[in-house]
Structure 1
Amino acid sequence: MRTPLLRALALGLAAGARGTLGPCAPLWARARDEGRVGGRCLAALTVAGEMLGDKTPAVPARTEGPGLLFRAFSGAWGGTLLARRTGASVPLTAGICALTAPVGATLGVGWRSWWGERRPDCQGALMEDAVALSLARYAVRRS
């Protein structure tokens, strides 16, 4: 059984790595549960767009100013949607996600920096994507 705390931590870390995962993971899960293919496609395309954009050097740092604030907001929004979906406490879940998102952003940047010193950065970015998607999937997976 997945506890609300673990789900919130996972979604917050995922939102820190890829900001769109905060709200899009719970929205995708709701669309899946309601059988709405269009909703799932829109959520998936939004996340895919960020993942592609993340690979370009022009993207601003996610651990500074607006980038970090966006991740925290994304985590809070996703936490609110997750709590409503699972029946957990909205303030607690949103708060955990918002506070965990900057941690996910910092860990992701650290990982990419460490990996980029040894191998091509794109490989590290793809692995970061896989971890973020796995965390988001864990958070919204059916019990």
Structure 2
Amino acid sequence: MASLRRVKVLLVLNLIAVAGFVLFLAKCRPIAVRSGDAFHEIRPRAEATNLSAHSASPIQDAVLKRLSLLEDIVYRQLNGLSKSLGLIEGYGGRGKGGLPATLSPAEEEKAKGPHEKYGYNSYLSEKISLDRSIPDYRPTK
């Protein structure tokens, strides 16, 4: 009785796998659609949205220009926010020149809980500048 049940379950799983495979092939293959006398090939979405193959229209240029302006505005606002939070950006922050970043005794007490919880010093990690300069120890060619 148990072996019959096992065979039925395996048969159903195989049918589901075959149906999924057929659906996958149907989604990935370009489809030819007949409208009138001519055939039109429907391409996958990735091919249809390839902007490098087509010349950019004036509308696309305007949208790209507007997006770059918005990106600059957002960058300036986020940069101001990080400075107001006390994060030192640039080459003068903690960890400068590859030197170890240290915490004061008061900061070590604040960092103790998250360090035990997460397994790394997240408090100090947030204080280290992302733009710091790190020495390059790779051998010259």
Fold match by TM threshold 0.5: no
Q: Which has the higher contact order (CA 8 A, sep 6+)?
A: 1
Higher helix share: 1
Higher strand share: 2
- When normalised by structure 1's length, the TM-score is 0.25
Larger Rg: 2
